[in-house]
Amino acid sequence: MKDSPWFARFATRISHLAGHPITFGAAAGLIVLWAAIGPFAGFSDAWQLTVNTATTIVTFLMVFLIQSTQNRDTAALQIKIDELIRATRTARNSLLDLEDHSEEEIRQIREEYEKLASKARSRGNRMET
């Protein structure tokens, strides 16, 4: 399924805002304010329910927004890596769709590269193909 352009822009913008230090400060400030109101509210159930409900709703919605942004970022990164593999003469083009392989196939390929890295380290030189 394809993201709608407005939702993609919205999710990206909200994800970036959520990760901003000012947003963290504002959220921390709201928690401090909520805690300060506690004695005046008698630490009532309604006082507790306010922060519990707000944080649950925000967390629930942020999971989907951040996942949408992460999916797009991952897809773009995968395309860039695929292009580098395709453009490199000595690269293994069979790795272009590695993300679609089974966990076992990926584990086997990783082991091959770990062996190559170990050999290169023992010789003190760059990795060889």
Domain co-membership, 74 together with 109: no
Residue-number span of the structural domain to which 113 is assigned: 97-129
pLDDT digits (tens, 9 = 90+) for 6-50: 988 898 899 889 999 999 999 999 999 999 999 999 999 999 999
The answer to whether residues 12 and 72 belong to one domain is: yes
Rounded to 5 degrees, φ, ψ at 41 are: -90, 0
User: Over the stretch 98-117, which tens digit does the pLDDT of each residue have?
Assistant: 888 899 999 999 999 899 89
- Scan for tokens 């999710």, then name that residue: 11
For residues 57 and 31, membership in a common domain is answered with yes
Integer Cα distance of 77 and 72 in angstroms: 9
Angle at 41 between CA 56 and CA 38, to 5 degrees: 60
Q: Answer yes or no: pTM beyond 0.85.
A: no
User: Are 60 and 123 members of one domain?
Assistant: no
Q: Are residues 88 and 71 in the same domain?
A: yes
